[in-house]
């Protein structure tokens, strides 16, 4: 699997944490368990979260079924480009990430636990 297609798989799986529906930690873990936990953490908090978190911050989230791959890929690529080119964007986004990490702490720990189970099973 190429690095880009591997990233897309991780982006799509991790974006499920931000859908206003039941979260399948097992499904997400199965999609990302081949990656080190530190890499999943970086992808989740620095690539996926800045793009998807707004869905959970509104009173009535608009996304109940999952994000489209086209939306996720283009939005994350735009985010990463801004991250590389704008110091102000990096600072603003880094502050948001700090806060949102706290908000997602419980989900993150559930996902880590599930990933460890998958990694043990796959040995």
Q: Where are the domains of the chain?
A: 3-122
- Would you write out the chain's pLDDT as a tens digit for each of its 123 residues? 555 577 999 999 999 998 878 889 999 999 999 999 999 999 999 999 999 887 665 555 454 567 889 999 999 999 999 999 999 999 999 999 999 999 899 999 999 999 999 988 886
* Other C-beta atoms lying within 10 Å of the C-beta of residue 108: 17
Cα 37 → chain centroid: 13
pTM of the predicted structure, to 2 decimals:
0.87
> For residue 46, what is the DSSP state?
I
């Amino acid at each position: 699997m190429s690095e880009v297609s591997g990233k897309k798989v991780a982006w799509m799986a991790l974006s499920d944490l931000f859908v206003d529906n039941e979260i399948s930690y097992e499904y997400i873990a199965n999609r990302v368990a081949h990656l080190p936990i530190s890499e999943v953490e970086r992808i989740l908090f620095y690539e996926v979260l800045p793009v998807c978190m707004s869905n959970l911050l509104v009173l009535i989230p608009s996304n109940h079924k999952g994000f489209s791959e086209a939306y996720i890929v283009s939005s994350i690529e735009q985010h990463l480009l801004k991250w590389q080119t704008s110091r102000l964007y990096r600072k603003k986004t880094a502050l948001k990430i700090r806060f949102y990490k706290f908000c997602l702490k419980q989900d993150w720990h559930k996902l880590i636990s599930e990933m460890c189970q998958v990694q043990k099973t796959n040995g």
